[in-house]
Structure formats: structure tokens, C-alpha cells
Amino acid sequence: MRRYSLPFLAVFALACPLLTGQENSPADTSAPDPKVSTDALTLSLDPMTKDELETEAAAWLELLRAKATEIANLEIKALGGVTEDTKQRLVVLRNQKTELVKRTELVLEGYEVKGGDVEIAGKYVAAVKGIKTGVNDVGSRIHAFNTWLASRDGGIKLALHILQFIGVMVVFWILAAFVSRFIRRTLEKQLQFSALLKDFINKMSRRVVFFIGLIVALGTIGVNVGAALALIGGGAFIIGLALQDTLSNFANGIMLLIYRPFDVGSAVEVGGIKGKVDSVSMVSITILTFDNQKVLVPNKKVWGEIITNITAMDTRRVDMLFGIGYDDDMSLAQEIIERVVSEHQLVLKEPEPNIGVHELGDSSVNFRCWAWAITSDFLTVRTEITRRVKEEFDKAGISIPFPQRDVHLYTKEKPVITIEESKPEE
């Protein structure tokens, strides 16, 4: 309960006659209407001055005092025995007092905003508001609840607020679906945007519209949206400190969407993991390795490491190395490799293949073979050319050497080793 103070109303019985004698006050011509709606009362208080609100507050406090006195007298009478009529009468009076308390608090709030001191009056309202039914008075409680449900400022108002809230949310839900569909169709025409960025924009647009709808719906039912947003902001700061790693992943996810080093379906190598990108979220990416394992990699590990996009380019160079023996014909070997490469249908004519002697190894003469192919045909070209070269080498009698080791055997008789020392001539 908010604390108020209103010194001039310390003794209501003496203050009210003096206040009602003032001129040019709304309370001089008519008494407050206890049945006025809270919305209408709030609007009527807005143009009042401080002095007018002082008189208005005195009138409402007098109504509240009279109602509290009536309830107290009836409760005293009920000490000798409570009849059913007395119970029902008490319930009605208590509901009336509750409504008077609401309206009196509104008047006091308006008076306080315009410079009035409402501390004493606030204490009185808090004390009167604290009067409740007996703990064992179940019938009174049930009757009070039913009365509250039927009152325009009670159950009916709550039901209307619920319907308003649901109605606004349904409208914005439909609007969010429409906006999402429109943005998705628009983004489909933008070829420069990655699939990840399109999906992110589409989802965020829907959520933003839905969030705006939530704010509007809360405002329609009387919730202080500014205070709610301030509370959300404070809570977000605390949550941000607790979820630093998650927010870091989120920030790196934004960078991945902007610079788009890869897309869904790309073959990549990130963080030592090589595979195909299966899905991307704002906090992590899912990679299916080439042996069909699912690996979840946090975005900060992706953006902070070297990223290799294997399928980013349309063509790739297929690097192969073939070795022959030192006694084999190098010209014939090069001719065979060139013929195999030129006959393969998946090898591109441009850029031209590059074939030649690469190095003289420990046990072989090594030929390099650089052939170009479409990225999707990379493995096929390397596998088939390697097999064909081996088959043609075998037909031509060209050996493919492998590392060898010479083993020398010695008999049990150790050779005599003599060491001759030569001296320089004099």
C-alpha cells in the first residue's frame, strides 16, 4: 500500500465542514458519486487544481469514513449472533468499501502529484483497507467473490481486459505471419544474401512484430509499459552478465551472417572439424562430418579460428603425385600421364593441366600432375586418374617404387681391421 499524507484531514469530522464551506470548489455543488468508474474519475481529476483536489479528497475520505463506520456498527451488532441477512449485508458493505478505497486512492494520488501532502490520509486509508472478513466466514467470502465477479470494476473488467489482450495478440500474430511471408518472398529475389541471413531476417521480423504486439496488448489493459520495459532492461543486464559466453556466440553469429564465409550445405573445415554445414543458429553451427558424425561448434570457435570453405569456388585444382623408378623411361611416363588426363571427360580444358618432373626423391623420380575440375567432381577425378595411371604404368612396364632397405649379413668371423697411421714427410 502506497503511503500518503494529508495533514488538513487529521480529524475528518472537523475538517469536512470547513472544507465544504469553500467557494468555487467542485465539492460545493455536488457530493462524489461512489458508482463513478475509475477511468472516468481519473479523467475528471486531471484538470483540477491543488485546492480543488484537496476538497475532492476530503469528500471521498468522508464517504469512506461513513462506510467504515456503518460496517463497524454492523459487526458490533453481529457479535451477539450472526444471521444470514447480516452476513450478506456485511459482504455488500465491504465490497462497497473496497470500491470507495480504490477511488479515494486515485484522488489522493492526483492530489499528491500536484503538490499535496497526503501522509496522514494515506495511513487512514491503509488502516480502513486492512479491515477484512473473519477467517472462518466462508459464506461471506464466497458471496464476496461472486459479487466481485459481477461488478463492473471487478470480474467484468478483468474479463474485458483478458479479451482485449487476447484480441490484440491474435491481431499481431496474424500481422507477424503476413510480414514474415512478405519479407521471405522479397528476400528470395535477393541473390546476394546468404540463406543464413535470409532465415535470420525472416525470423527476427516475425519476433519483432510479435514483441510490439505484446507491448501494445499490455498497454491496452492498463499495464505501465514504461516500467515494464525498465524492468526488462534491468533484468537483461543481469542476465547478460550471467550469459557472457552465450552472448559472445550470438555476436559472432551476427558476424557470420554479415560476412557469410559459408552457407548451409557448404563443405568446410573450422576448428579442426571438416565436414558439411547442416544448420546454423545464432549461437552455434552443426557440421556433419564426412563419416556422418554430427558436431556442434560454438560460433565464437568458428569466427575466431581459420575457416576453410572447400566448396566456395566453382572449380578446384586436383593435385596428384606419381613416382617412377630411376631406371624407367621418364618421357614415356610423362606421355602416359598426359594421355590419361586428356582422355578423362571431367577434367577441364581451361585452365590447362600442368604435368612435369617435380623432384628426384630418395627412391623415385616424382611427377606432379595438376588437373582442374568442377568442385563437385574433385574426388572422382583424383580417384579415377590415379587408378588409370597405375594401370597404364603396369602395361608399359614402368615401376612405381616403394621405400626399400638393404640388409647386410656378416659371418661370425670378424674381419680384421687395420689402421695405418701415416706421417707427414719431413
The pLDDT assigned to 82 comes to 66
- Give the type of residue at 158: L
Q: What is the C-alpha to C-alpha distance for residues 31 and 103, in angstroms, rounded to an integer?
A: 14
CA distance 155 to 153: 7
Q: What is the spatial distance between Cα 366 and Cα 325, in angstroms, rounded to a whole number?
A: 9
The confidence score (pLDDT) of residue 311 equals 86
3-state secondary structure string across 69-118: HHHHHHHHHHHHCCCHHHHHHHHHHHHHHHHHHHHHHHHHHHHHHCCCCC
The rounded distance, in Å, linking the Cα atoms of 302 and 249 is 9
Per-residue pLDDT at 118: 85
Cross-strand partners of 289: 275
- Cα distance between residue 236 and residue 242, in whole Å: 10
Q: 156, 136 in Cβ contact below 8 A?
A: no
N- to C-terminal Cα separation, the chain: 123
Q: 400 with 390: CB under 8 angstroms?
A: yes
Calculated CA dihedral for residues 252, 255, 259, 261, nearest 10 degrees? 10
Nearest to 245 by CA among 287, 306, 201, 301: 301
Q: Please give the chain's pLDDT, 426 residues, in tens.
A: 344 444 444 334 334 443 444 444 443 445 788 888 888 888 888 888 888 888 888 888 888 888 888 888 887 877 777 677 777 787 778 778 888 888 888 888 888 888 888 888 888 888 887 655 444 455 555 655 665 566 565 667 778 878 888 988 899 889 988 888 888 888 777 766 666 677 777 788 888 888 888 888 888 777 777 766 676 776 666 666 655 666 777 777 777 777 778 888 889 988 788 999 988 877 888 899 988 999 988 888 888 788 889 888 889 999 999 999 998 999 999 999 999 999 999 999 999 999 999 999 888 999 999 999 999 899 999 999 999 999 999 999 998 887 766 677 776 665 555 555 544 444
| pLDDT given for residue 120 in this prediction | 87
Q: Quick one: which of 85, 41, 70, 172 has its CA closest to 131?
A: 70
Q: How far is CA 418 from CA 410, 413, 414, 421, 423, in A?
A: 18, 15, 12, 10, 16
Contacts of 166 by beta carbon, 8 Å cutoff, 6+ apart: none
As a whole number of angstroms, the longest Cα–Cα distance in the chain is 150
Model pTM score: 0.44
**3 state SS of 373:** strand
**Around 326, how many Cα atoms within 13 Å sit in the side-chain half-sphere?**
7
pLDDT of residue 131: 52
pLDDT of 3 reads 41
Is residue 333 classed exposed, middle or buried when 0-12, 13-18 and 19+ CB atoms within 10 A define those classes? buried
267: part of which helix (H) or strand (E)? strand 267-270
Domains, the chain: 4-150 (no CATH), 157-242 (1.10.287.1260), 262-309 (2.30.30.60), 315-396 (3.30.70.100)
Q: If you compute the radius of gyration of the chain from its CA atoms, what whole number of angstroms results?
A: 45
In this predicted structure, what is the pLDDT of residue 153?
59
Q: What is the pLDDT of residue 16?
A: 43
DSSP secondary structure string for all residues of 49-81: -HHHHHHHHHHHHHHHHHHHHHHHHHHHHGGG-
Q: Which residues contact 108 (CB under 8 A, 6 or more apart)?
A: 4, 6, 57, 116, 118, 121, 122, 125
Letter for the amino acid at 355? I
Instruction: Kindly state the helix (H) or strand (E) to which residue 310 belongs, with its residue range.
Output: none
CA dist., res. 194 & res. 210, Å (int)? 25
What is the predicted pLDDT for the residue at 78?
74
Query: What pLDDT sits at residue 412?
Result: 65
What pLDDT score was predicted for residue 147? 59
Per-residue pLDDT, 385? 95
User: For residues 3 and 32, is the Cβ–Cβ distance under 8 A?
Assistant: no
